[in-house]
Each structure stands twice: as structure tokens, then as C-alpha cells.
Amino acid sequence: MTANSKYGINPRLISVITNRDLSDIPDSPTASMLPGSYGRIIAEKVNQGPREHPENIQRLVCNRCGRSGNYDLGLVAIDSDKAQKLGHDDSVPAGTETLSILDCIQATGYFRCRQCNAAGHWKLSESAERAIYLGGIGAAFFSPKDISKQKFTYGGFVLADGSRHRWATDVEEYYLQKLAGQPDDAFTWNRLGNTYLAGGRPDLAAVAYEQSLIIDPAQMESHYSLAKALFNAGEKAAAAQHFRQALICAHRYSRMQAERMRDMLVSTFEYLLQIHCDMEKFLASLPTELDMLPPGEAAYASGTVVSREINIYPGNPKSFYPMAEMYMGKRREELLTGSQMPGESISAISQTAGKTSSRPGGNRKKKSGKKNKKRKL
């Protein structure tokens, strides 16, 4: 159990989703009040599964209630420009507000005061200031080769609209304010989910992703990320359903750069392979052309899925590229680097009405013994 064993929930999250007045929601809601199907289930297993960032416990003091506690800050980004101005107060005219260490940092961890459920009103303890100072020195010497293993880094977190926020709860508040005015913005619900996930709160992430999918059932990124959160919580059947939906929605999804979409699809295949444990079962689980048609559209109207001979090798993500590109439909034309290997060719564009058996990659032939290798969980 981590030091941050009691998890806070923002009453505004429940208010915006349920359309109930904030005054009707308790100041410190419990997990049983989370809307949707999965948030409550995942809340019991928040610490299960891999972390986005290593645990980074620091002692903070809540400015609202004055109580101190240990909280997991996640990855702390230090603004080097601001940090350089620390300790150079001689040039600052008298009366000018000087910078503190707190002014120089942003953190990914999602946490609220365990006593009063306030968020974002923190003072760093002396030990936390020292840890950040030393962490900054460490980050300056070690290049950030793998950001997922670091506790401190130089730089900053900027949202797509250019805004910057210190704490994950500030980002949450920013998105919730936006969503209160435009609750049908499935993309912003997805981004809110990502903030929770990066903050170590897959339970809240699931709530936001589910809301995103209620508004837009074709929100591919929400299907994928919700599936990942479910997989890590051991909910494999539900995870498989949403991974499958991510494959189905990809060719119609435009809010993502093509290369990133291909990587997400490869990751989807890898998770599905783990869930099904067996190559044949995995292949049989993949969506067919008919699954990918919008409701009411006849099969002959679509040529979006291309079948061709491919070999896939578990453990070699690039071998999944051709299959991922099949699910991208026309979006594969945006890829700067195609996966097509010498000797590999598109064998058929299936446009036959009612051809249910022609799943993408339906012409796969067993060319290699490695292909049927089972993946252990």
C-alpha cells in the first residue's frame, strides 16, 4: 500500500457527468458514487498494473486545513528558466515577489488532501524542497532516456491549447470547467481521462473514458485507454471488447497523427494476444470488414479493409505494422514510413457484399513456425 492510500475524488467530476448541482454532492465523495460501470470496479485495484511514473512520495502541507501528509507527486517537471532565477535575488528590486521552488515545478500525480479533500493548495515541506532540489541536480546529469522511469525531469507540461498547470488536479479543474460549458466534447473527456491515468488514478480515468464513449462511441483513443485500464485491473473480457472497438473505430478516427495511431493499434494487437494467449484465438477475435461498417451501410460500399499476406511475430512490434495499417483504412496513406516489405504485396481489396469471412489479414498463410508461438501471460 502506498502512503497515498486514501484516494480523493473531485465532487465536480460527479456533478458535471450526472448534471446534479455541486451542492448536492458530498465534499468528499466515495468511489461508490462514481458514475459509469467501471470506475467503481477499478477503484478497488488502483495499485494493480504498471505505473506511468515511479512513486515519488513527498511531504506536503495543505494550505486549506493546515495538515501535512505524504503524497505521490509522480513525475515532477522543473522549469529550468525559473529554477535559474532561484537564489539570485540581488537583481530583484525590493518589493518584487521572488520565486520559490514551488513556482518552478509541475507534477503528474493526482492527489487531494486526505483530511479536507482540497486540491492544489499545497506548501512544500522542507524535505520536499530538498528532494526537488536534489532531484533537479540529478535530472541535469542524467539524460531523460526513459521518462517513464524518472521522478524528476527538466521541462514542462503544456496542454494542446498552450496552457500550463502545476498539479494534475489543476488540469482536471481546467478540463471540468471547459466540460461544464460543453459537456458533449468527447475529445476533452478523453484528455481528462489521460490526465487521471498519468496521475495514477485509473478509476477516475475509466469514468472519464466511459463518458467520452457515451458521447462518441467511435472515440478510438478512449476505447484503447479504457481497455488498458480494464486489462490492468484484471477485467480481461471487458478489456478485449474495448480493444476490439478501438480496431473497429480506427479508420474513421481523425484526431490522432497516423504514426501514433499505428503504434496504438500495434499495442492493441499485443494486448489482445495476451488476453487470448493463443495466436489462432487472437486472429479469430479480430473484427471483420462487416464489423467495421457504420450501421446501415452495405458491405459492398466499403473497401476500407485490405487483405494481404502477412507474417506476424509476437515480440516484434513492427511485424504488426501491416495488420495495423489494414485497420487504418485510408488513414494509412498519411504514414510517412509504410510497412510494405519487398516481395509483400496487397493481394486483394475485398469489396464483396456479405463476405463475412474476409477479416483483415484473412489471407494469412502459415509461413513461419514462430507465428504460432503462444504468449505466456
Give the binding site for Zn ion (CB under 5 A).
62, 64-65, 113, 115-116, 118
Q: Which is nearer to Zn ion, 12 or 64 (CB)?
A: 64
CB of 122 to Zn ion, least distance (A): 9
CB of 121 to Zn ion, least distance (A): 7
Q: Which is nearer to Zn ion, 42 or 60 (CB)?
A: 60
Q: Which is nearer to Zn ion, 118 or 214 (CB)?
A: 118
CB of 60 to Zn ion, least distance (A): 10
Q: Which is nearer to Zn ion, 122 or 209 (CB)?
A: 122
In three-state form (DSSP H/G/I as H, E/B as E, the rest C), the secondary structure along the chain is CCCCCCCCCCHHHHHHHHCCCHHHCCCCCCHHHCCCCCHHHHHCCCCCCCCCCCCCEEEEEECCCCCEEEEECCCEEECHHHHHHCCCHHHCCCCCCCCCHHHHEEECCCCCCCCCCCCCCEEECHHHHHHHHHHHHHHHHCCCCCHHHCCEEECCCECCCCCECCCHHHHHHHHHHHHHHCCCCHHHHHHHHHHHHHCCCHHHHHHHHHHHHHHCCCCHHHHHHHHHHHHHCCCHHHHHHHHHHHHHHHHHCCCCCHHHHHHHHHHHHHHHHHHHCCHHHHHHHCCCCHHHCCCCCCHHHCCCCEEECCCCCCCCHHHHHHHHHHHHHHHHHHCCCCCCCCCCCEEEECCCCCCCCCCCCCCCCCCCHHHHCCCCC
Q: Which is nearer to Zn ion, 62 or 77 (CB)?
A: 62
CB of 30 to Zn ion, least distance (A): 17
Q: Which is nearer to Zn ion, 117 or 211 (CB)?
A: 117
CB of 64 to Zn ion, least distance (A): 4
Q: Which is nearer to Zn ion, 58 or 358 (CB)?
A: 58
CB of 167 to Zn ion, least distance (A): 14
CB of 152 to Zn ion, least distance (A): 25
Write the CB contacts of 221 (distance below 8 Å, at least 6 apart in sequence). 190, 246, 253, 255, 256, 264
CB of 18 to Zn ion, least distance (A): 25
Q: Which is nearer to Zn ion, 64 or 82 (CB)?
A: 64
